[in-house]
Amino acid sequence: MECSQDTDTPLPILSHINANTLNLANYTLSSGHCKALKRASQFLQTNINRVRFNNCGIDDGEMANLLQAFCQFKDFKSIIYRQNELNEESLEWLRRLLAKGIPYHLQELRISDCRLTPHVTSELIKALAQKSFLKQFELRNAALSCEDVQRLGDYVIHSKQIEELDLSYNGMMPNLVDVLLEKLVSSKRLVSLNLAQNSLIEGNTGANQKRKLESEARAKNWLTIFIGGSKKLIHLDLTKTSLSEEAILFILPTIKSSKNLQGVHLSGNPGVTDAVRERVTALLRVKPPVQRRSVNIVKLLSPQTQERYKT
């Protein structure tokens, strides 16, 4: 009915539901569509417990309408929200959804490339820290302050549920990544950490040489402690994090000695040199006494060499 009043084409919603997931990608949702979805949600609680909205043109008020409906669901588990808007109104309902207790809690929240202000980002992180039971959290392409990073680190340390953290593409400078890693070394539950497209090491030109060396030393220190002390970490993404050759060679022995780490992504770093590739090749030739692990640093090698080590 709402669609008819707003002169919108009715949304064939059932055709977009698969495995209890409503998946809409590059499908522009108008205000009428969102109101109709809200009204229809009372009939869809047994059909939907996860949503994926990717580039749907959803604004803050429209998302608030949808979140208000999802809060009424008895068991709602996941929101993947990309290239839409998140602001004060929708944040208020998201806060309520995050606060739902176990076993009816939200387990996964992924917010990527959305229109959100630094204030909303900060308030979202406060909501996480205040009360949430997420297992997977992604916040990508958002402006993070030092206070935000500190609060996120504390949240991961104290949460009894969080296992996956994705803060890629946030453009964090080395001082912020240092703050985060210093917190995360105390985390005992992380299985996956994605820091791609953030800077671990300063630039190395002119007067910045001293700062570069200092940040390199800190990066080597925190990465070694974090990787070596993480008993559950399986996946670590350090793609395009400005790592130098010295830093990569320094952490490789810790990667090798890890009994649980299966994938490390290092591509796109200036330190991926021939020396590093040779060291990785040597590393992969040594078979551990336990079942051989699939170490994704093989991605540093040529396609021909990769094939040799896949078997």
pLDDT tens-digit profile of 140-185?
A: 999 999 999 999 999 999 999 999 999 999 999 999 999 999 999 9
pTM for the predicted model, two decimal places: 0.87
The answer as to whether 310 is a domain residue is yes
Looking at per-residue pLDDT, the higher value among 171 and 309 belongs to 171
Q: What is the CATH number of the domain that holds 226?
A: 3.80.10.10
Asked if residue 54 is part of any domain, the answer here is: no
Please check the confidence at residue 114 and state whether its pLDDT lies above 90.
Answer: yes
Q: Are 109 and 83 in contact (CB under 8 A)?
A: no
Number of domains in the chain: 1
pLDDT at residue 282, as a whole number: 83
In the beta sheet, which residues pair with residue 51? 22, 79
The C-alpha angle with vertex 119 and arms to 118 and 123, in degrees rounded to 5, equals 115
- What is the rounded distance in angstroms from the CA atom of residue 135 to the CA atom of residue 107? 5
Residue 309 pLDDT class (50, 70, 90 cuts):
very low
Q: Looking at the DSSP assignment, which residues form a beta bridge with residue 82? A: 54, 112
**What is residue 284's predicted lDDT score, i.e. its pLDDT?**
66
Asked whether residue 201 is domain-assigned, the answer is yes
Please say if the pLDDT value at position 13 is more than 80. Answer: no
CA atoms of 94 and 127, how far apart (whole Å) = 9
pLDDT band at 16 (very low <50, low <70, confident <90, very high): confident
Q: Is there a domain that residue 42 lies in?
A: no
Report, as an integer, the average pLDDT of 32-52: 83
pLDDT band at 11 (very low <50, low <70, confident <90, very high): low
Whole-Å CA distances, 110 to 107, 152, 167, 198: 10, 15, 10, 18
Q: Looking at residues 3-28, what average pLDDT do you find?
A: 74
Overall average pLDDT of the 274-300 stretch: 64
Q: For residue 263, tell me if it sits in a domain.
A: yes
Rounded Cα distance, 157 and 188, in Å:
7
Q: Kind and range of the H or E element at 237?
A: strand 235-237
The pLDDT of residue 204 is: 57
Kindly report, residue by residue over 72-91, the tens digit of the pLDDT.
898 899 999 999 999 999 99
Within 13 Å of residue 50, how many CA atoms lie on the same side as its CB?
14
Query: Is 286 part of any domain?
Result: yes
Structure confidence at residue 247 (pLDDT): 95
- Looking from the CA of 254 toward its CB, the CA atoms found within 13 Å total 20
Does the pLDDT value for residue 285 go beyond 70? no
The answer to whether residue 226 sits within a structural domain is yes
Q: Which residue has the higher pLDDT, 256 or 281?
A: 256
Does residue 253 have a cis bond before it (omega within 30 degrees)? no
**Contact by Cβ (8 Å): 170, 198:** yes
Q: Is there a domain that residue 264 lies in? A: yes
Contacts of the segment 93-97: beta carbons below 8 A, 24+ positions apart: 93/64, 93/67, 93/68, 94/67, 94/124, 94/127, 95/127, 96/67, 96/71, 97/67, 97/70, 97/71
Which residues partner with 18 through β-bridges?
Answer: 21
Range of the domain at 161: 144-311
User: Is there a contact between 13 and 39 (Cβ–Cβ < 8 Å)?
Assistant: no
